[in-house]
A and B are shown apart, each in its own frame.
Chain A
Amino acid sequence: MTETQFKNMKDLPSKHLLGTGTSLCAGCGGLEALHEIYDILGAKSVFVNAAGCMTLLAVYPFTPFRGSWLYTAMASAPAGAQGIRDALDILLTKGRIAAGEDLETVVLTGDGSAYGMGLSATSGAIERGLDFLYICYDNEGYGNTGQQSSGATPHGARTSTSRGSSGYPGHKKDLFSIWVAHRPTYVATVVGAEPLDLARKIEQAKKLRGPRLILALAPCPTGWDFDPSETAEIGKLAVRTGVWPLKEYRDGKVVHSKIPQRRLPVEDYLKRQGRFAHLFHPQRDEVLLQEIQTKIDIYWANVEG
């Protein structure tokens, strides 16, 4: 990572921009990340939202945002960003608005839209080189409708549409690589529980132009079944067990911003969450646990080379 104003935790903003008292669940890991992101991104932004949990941030007549907001639909938030960005550029070019009135165009969606329904619109926006920042809060399921499995649900997790003894039979889609395959300006994974790493990545993203993704793991007490007080702990464990690699893509290269020394076994992460309880009770599902661990080991073996 290049030079940063965020050298240690003391450098993080002490004033917070996003308002409180929203209708989101207690302990929402997505909101935790959004608070940290917004503090650095700033209010000179317009958030273009797709249907998901965060749609309920702005409920008439209240909004926690100091900047602007446009709700679109589940599939087309990047197209909304395209329309706003293009219109602002036209207005700036023609001198109808001053340069100081310009805004950062930000797409804000959950994984349901980012990994699934919105993927066509996203791919189009990247291929056109749209100057926008995409923030995905990834709670690994259709959280707002009660945690049904999505394209982001990890293998073996129990969801409200995969309640059997083996949980979700599919595998979490690799959205990071899907973005990277488009050769965008910037892609990074973050988690609210690692605020310094997050701050540096938002700082980077803010300096760049073009399509940029911030993919935030969003531990979800409601959907993942853990106590809201444990959100930060679960987020830290996701990094320390290697489940959620912190990395960024820039200039054609993927770099890991935090390689966990002495990775913890994945079950330290899994056993804290009710959605994986069936892997441990009534008896341990050694086969599935090993399968999950092996996949993580192979990932990191490739990274550490």
Chain B
Amino acid sequence: MSRSMNPPADLRARVLAAAAAKPSRTRSTGQRLATIALVASMVLALSVFELSGGSAHASDRDPALTFELAGGWTAFAAVLAWLTLGRGGSTLARRPQLLAPIAFMTPLACFAWMHVFAGTYVEPFERVGYRCLALTLAMAALPLASFLYLRRGVEPRHPSALGAAAGATCGAWAGVLVDIWCPLTNGPHALFGHVLPLAILAGVGAAAGRRLLALRAR
């Protein structure tokens, strides 16, 4: 059986005319927008961080511990970003078998990493973690919204898995700054203030991804 079949001659003219009638962003424009979104996200996150007291808020903890905690989580967040945003040389996003575990495992990995440091120093105060939760959500909101905007309507395979992984990745990067800011690593605080926002962001990413990233009628 021949795989190719010649479509009617008038289809070519119709498709080319429809394409010309709806100009789309070129790759360089897309890259410029992505760079602007990235810089704006970083500026916003750093502003929120500084307005909340910056690294001085965790000054009662040994700086070496803070460096170790945030450094390890930065490496984890970098791997997540590579897995979620990188596409391995393809135009399609990575497989859902890879993206879905990112969304599920990131909150668990966060708890496990914080647990490594829990009890290794005397915590300066006790907090439930409302501010850590709010800070993570605030810092992750813009990069997640930018990702959803820039990739809207173009994901043909598994938009919710991609959205969930993007949410978890944005949360992980916000978590880096929150780890520098917050001197607490005990279990209950870690669960509420650090793990819960990651789960929320993954959930929001999945729901928003399903609606926004999926192909739209043209």
A and B: interacting chains: no
Chain B residues proximal to chain A, CB less than 8 Å: none
